[in-house]
Amino acid sequence: MSEPMTGNREFRDDIVRVATLTVTAPSIEGYTFVNCQIIGPAVLALVDSVTMNNCVYEADINSLFWEVDPVTRPVVFGAVGVFRCAFYSCSFQAIGFAGTPELREQMEAAVINP
């Protein structure tokens, strides 16, 4: 994995390991990923202002999505929080996603399976 392009926190055409991005903090904030392979193992909690367009996932939505009810369980420990990030034309390997039922519906409508 190379360092993001200076100044704009962008990874392009790269292999990005979630573990590398979370060495000093349990979250990923303010990055843009374009045509990257995002590698886990990890569960990403899509928390705030996350865009995902034309991405490919290695499993169906039932296998990769961990539903979190914001009323009965508003906080989830152990997942990587994702804030103000964009993923464009990325593929995800060994990655699960945690979020609300509404987020699941949005991902299900946009998911592309290999």
Q: pLDDT per residue over 19-50, tens digit each?
A: 999 999 899 999 999 999 999 999 999 888 88
pTM of the model: 0.84
DSSP 112: B
User: Is the peptide bond prior to 74 cis by the omega test (within 30 degrees of 0)?
Assistant: no
Alpha-carbon distance of 11 to 34, in angstroms, equals 6
- Cα 47 to Cα 1, 5, 70, 82, distances in angstroms: 24, 24, 11, 6
Q: What is the mean pLDDT of residues 50-70?
A: 86
Q: Give the model's pLDDT for residue 18.
A: 96
For residue 107, the surrounding DSSP H or E stretch is: helix 101-110
- Secondary structure (DSSP) of 17-51: EHHHHTSS-SEEES-EEES-EEEEEEEEEEEES-E
